[in-house]
């Protein structure tokens, strides 16, 4: 199909409803499937915006969301909710699954970290490059942590210790929402 025909198809797709495009996609029309994915790509970005993927970046989370959207296109049942509602559900679930999976590995960086007390305690099986990179990362993290409030430092320490939001809330005598807000502030501050 030439570019002109593709442009005409896109123009025709803009006049169709989600269900009509989905019906074409379900019958094997890959252009229709692509159009439905393009139509909801901004929804993926919107859902990903407030979320944080440990050990990843926003593009990784968006990629997970796009896989959720593709799954929605392929498994949608028009007898249920609207396509948008179903797609949003699939996208969010895929992203949250990725976040939960990443969280299970959240202590891995702590287990592989370089001791900060003396050079003689450094592992000998790492090459010099790894040691330098770890020191730089530790230095950058310590510098970023200087911008945290006392409460944020306490929350970060407990969070890195493996405590849940509810456990941190109980430990600090704050609400779970306060802990969540503190963690979000910490993430923003450490990301810059």
The per-residue b/e assignment along 53-92, b for 16 or more CB within 10 angstroms, e otherwise, is bbeeeeeebbbbbbbbbbebbeebeeeeeebeebbbebbb
What pLDDT shows up at residue 67?
A: 93
CATH 1.10.357.10 fits 108-191, yes or no: no
Q: What is the pLDDT of residues 56-113, one digit of tens each?
A: 778 888 999 999 999 999 899 888 889 999 999 999 999 888 888 877 755 455 445 5
User: Can you say whether the dihedral through the CA atoms of 148, 153, 159, 161 is positive or negative?
Assistant: positive
The whole-number pLDDT of residue 126 equals 47
How far apart CA 67 and CA 59 sit, in angstroms, is 12
Instruction: Give Cβ neighbours of residue 94 (< 8 Å, ≥ 6 apart).
Output: 64, 65, 67, 68, 71
User: How does pLDDT run across 102-123, given as a tens digit for each residue?
Assistant: 777 554 554 455 444 444 444 4
Please tell me the predicted confidence (pLDDT) of residue 129: 58
Q: CA-to-CA distance for 17 and 39, rounded, in angstroms?
A: 11
The residue ranges of every structural domain in the chain are 3-103, 108-191
Look at residue 141 and tell me whether its pLDDT is greater than 70: no
CATH code, residues 3-103: 1.10.1740.10
Overall average pLDDT of the 139-146 stretch: 64
- Hey, what are 107's tokens? 């202590």
């Amino acid at each position: 199909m030439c570019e002109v025909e593709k442009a005409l198809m896109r123009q025709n797709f803009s006049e169709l409803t989600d269900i009509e495009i989905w019906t074409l996609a379900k019958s094997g029309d890959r252009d229709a499937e692509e159009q439905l994915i393009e139509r909801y790509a901004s929804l993926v970005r919107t859902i990903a915006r407030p979320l944080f993927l440990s050990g990843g970046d926003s593009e990784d989370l968006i990629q997970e969301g796009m896989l959720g959207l593709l799954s929605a296109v392929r498994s949608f049942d028009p007898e249920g909710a609207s396509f948008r509602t179903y797609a949003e559900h699939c996208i969010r679930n895929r992203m949250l699954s990725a976040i939960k999976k990443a969280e299970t590995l959240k202590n891995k960086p702590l287990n592989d970290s370089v001791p900060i007390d003396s050079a003689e305690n450094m592992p000998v099986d790492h090459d010099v490059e790894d040691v330098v990179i770890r020191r730089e990362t530790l230095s950058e993290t310590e510098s970023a942590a200087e911008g945290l409030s006392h409460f944020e430092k306490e929350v970060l320490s407990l969070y890195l210790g493996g405590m849940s939001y509810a456990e941190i809330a109980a430990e600090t005598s704050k609400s779970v929402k306060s802990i969540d807000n503190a963690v979000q502030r910490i993430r923003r501050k450490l990301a810059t």
